[in-house]
Structure 1
Amino acid sequence: MSDLPPDLDRLRTLETWLALSLKRVREEIAAAERPTQPRRSPRKPAAARPAVARREPTPDWGISSAGIGRSVAEIHRGDCFAGGVMQPLSAERARAELADGVQPCGVCRPDRVLNRT
């Protein structure tokens, strides 16, 4: 069952109203964006532009080393804020490291996701 009117005349009226409403919304968006757009200088030729540094994709899992005096390794989810600098790991490798006794992070708890038993 449709919530739209069944006859063509009312459908055309609704279409006109929606088109006018969409036009007004787009005008308001354009007006709101105008003052916030910074003035841009002319584009430099491609050769003169500096290269953009590309970020490496976030790994699904990682291992980090921390500790004072002796190194303590922890397994983390790739998006864990507590991981610091991590070496990327596959899920299989992360499971193997956990099985070998490497500690899971207490913040992101990768052992719960990796089904550690």
Structure 2
Amino acid sequence: MSDLPPDLDRLRTLETWLSISLKRVREEIAAVERPAQPRRSPRPSAAARAAVPRRERTPDWGISSADIGAPVAEIHRGDCFAGGAMQPLSAERARAELADGVRACGVCRPETVLRRP
């Protein structure tokens, strides 16, 4: 005496159910085993790396224009938060601007570094 159904339709249904159950069990086994394996971070392809826009390098020095919030132009360090939109300058040009009377920022105090020999 078998504990399986006697007709073909129910046997096929049971076969389908067992196949689906076996697939789910195998997926669960793979999920449990996955953390035991060392993880590798996927490297982006060369095309993906090329598609990412490069951020411009922060200039070492800059000059902010006279504007509504700033009545006069000022020399700033490139990373100064008070500089706002600045035009990049070389150290030599920043020294020359300071020598010509352009004001130094009171926050980042670029003259302390620029006037060193």
Q: TM-score range by the shorter chain?
A: 0.5 to 0.7
Q: Does 1:109 pair with 2:117?
A: no
Report the equivalent of 2:47. 46
Compared with structure 1, are the counterparts of its residues 56 and 70 closer, same or farther at alpha carbon in structure 2 (3 Å cutoff)? closer
1:69 Cα deviation (Å)?
8.9
**Cα distance in 2, alignment partners of residues 112 and 91 from structure 1:** 12
Identity %: 77
Alpha-carbon RMSD across the aligned residues, in angstroms, is 3.5
Structure 2 residues not aligned, in runs of 5+: 1-34
TM-score (structure 2 length as normaliser): 0.53
Matches within 5 A, 1:1-117: 46=47, 51-68=51-68, 72-115=72-115
**Cα distance in 2, alignment partners of residues 62 and 46 from structure 1:** 34
**Cα distance in 1, alignment partners of residues 93 and 51 from structure 2:** 34
Structure 1 residues not aligned, in runs of 5+: 1-29
Compared with structure 1, are the counterparts of its residues 73 and 44 closer, same or farther at alpha carbon in structure 2 (3 Å cutoff)? same
Compared with structure 1, are the counterparts of its residues 109 and 55 closer, same or farther at alpha carbon in structure 2 (3 Å cutoff)? same
TM-score (structure 1 length as normaliser): 0.53
Greater share of helix: 2
Aligned pair count?
79
Larger Rg belongs to: 2
**Cα distance in 2, alignment partners of residues 102 and 83 from structure 1:** 14
**Cα distance in 2, alignment partners of residues 96 and 44 from structure 1:** 46
Q: Secondary structure at the match of 2:65?
A: strand
1:108 Cα deviation (Å)?
0.2
Amino acid in structure 2 at the alignment position of 1:78: G
